[in-house]
Structure 1
Amino acid sequence: MNKLQTMNELLAHDIQMLYSAETLGLEAQKLLAESATDSHLKSLFTLHERESQKQVARLEKIMVMMDLKPSREVCSAVKGLMADTEKLLNKESAPEVLDAMLIGAAQKMEHYEIACYGTAVWMTEDLGMTQVADLLRQTLAEEKQANELLNEVAKQRVNPKAEMQA
């Protein structure tokens, strides 16, 4: 899509970017799960990967409802966050510090997705697209929950161990 003259066109672009972000996020979830040393954190990443697969399917349903196709354009924000994570993974780190870094990387992606889904919900509501808004709101709630679970793992398990490395 080469033009953004209407709110509908902007929403279509945002949905396509969310689809790109989520499909890239699936790659990131695998990398995070493989890299994590804490078993609870590893399972949390794996759980969110499965949840992300459902979110991708939900976006595909939304695109059918809106008569859209996935764009060839790549979400540069998530691509950049993934590149930053890969740079950090190449540094020599204590396992406990590595896990704290992975949580931070995951939360940066979650916060981006929360912002994008929140904006898309607002636009769909404004445009009277209640079914699409409901589907997006469901994913938004899941992203917020994933962020909260990461906070809990960080506070209760990972960060105390990482702090002992000082």
Structure 2
Amino acid sequence: MAVKTVEDLFLHELSDTYSAEKQMTRSLPQMARAAADPQLAQAFLDHLEETRGQVERIDEMVEILNLKLKRIKCAAMEGLVEEGKDLIDEIDKGPVLDVALIGAAQKVEHYEIASYTTLIALATKLGYTPVLPLLQASLAEEKATDDKLGKLGQAAAIEEAVQA
């Protein structure tokens, strides 16, 4: 896709974010199954539901702005998902893997936070005000998930991993 205008860039970024969110809907159940800590597994499942809602919000934005998403694959998310799979394959299930999964998930959240922040800035400049609340809602969810993961990581998981 040739990006020549800010409108093209917004569409590219939205398409990329859509791909990233779709990839996460496939990855989060695997992360939940790999987690030993029930709270962590539940956090992944809770975020799966939020992620499905974020995909729906992007569909809603497309409709509101009368856009057609580009068929692209988010390479950054593909790499982050692959890193998570490698951790699951290489580390035995237990507290050490849980800590690794928290870190991997936070990398994803930080990427998504950057994506939504960029989309909000572009939408603001382009006057796409009807979609701003949708983008802001997704951004708020990503930040809340990052915070929740950070608290889980600071809690018992790391202590258990150090003792293991």
TM-score normalised by the chain length of structure 2: 0.96
User: Where does residue 56 of structure 1 map in the other structure?
Assistant: 55
1:120-147 deviation per Cα after TM superposition (whole angstroms, max 9, x unaligned) = 0011111111111221011001000000
1:89-115 deviation per Cα after TM superposition (whole angstroms, max 9, x unaligned) = 111435100000111111110000000
The amino acid of 1:150's aligned partner reads L
User: Where does residue 15 of structure 1 map in the other structure?
Assistant: 14
User: Where does residue 160 of structure 2 map in the other structure?
Assistant: 161
User: Where does residue 6 of structure 1 map in the other structure?
Assistant: 5
How many residues of Structure 1 are paired with residues of Structure 2 in the alignment?
164
SS class of match (2:90): coil
User: Where does residue 131 of structure 1 map in the other structure?
Assistant: 130
Range with greater deviation from structure 2 (130-139 or 67-76): 67-76
Tell me, in whole angstroms, the C-alpha distance in 2 between the residues paired with 1:103 and 1:125.
32
Give RMSD over aligned pairs.
1.1
After TM superposition, the structure 1 = structure 2 runs for residues 64-75 of structure 1, keeping only pairs within 5 Å, are 64-75=63-74
The amino acid of 2:92's aligned partner reads S
The amino acid of 1:17's aligned partner reads D
Asked if the contact 2:117/2:139 (under 8 Å) is kept, the reply is: yes
Asked if the contact 2:124/2:132 (under 8 Å) is kept, the reply is: yes
After TM superposition, the structure 1 = structure 2 runs for residues 7-156 of structure 1, keeping only pairs within 5 Å, are 7-93=6-92, 95-156=94-155
SS class of match (1:90): helix
Tell me, in whole angstroms, the C-alpha distance in 2 between the residues paired with 1:41 and 1:92.
16
Tell me, in whole angstroms, the C-alpha distance in 1 between the residues paired with 2:96 and 2:3.
43
Percent of residue pairs identical: 34
1:6-52 deviation per Cα after TM superposition (whole angstroms, max 9, x unaligned) = 10110011001110000001111111111101001111110000011
- Gaps spanning 5+ residues in structure 1: where? none
Asked if the contact 2:14/2:58 (under 8 Å) is kept, the reply is: yes
The amino acid of 1:153's aligned partner reads L
CA shift, 1:86, in A, is 1.2
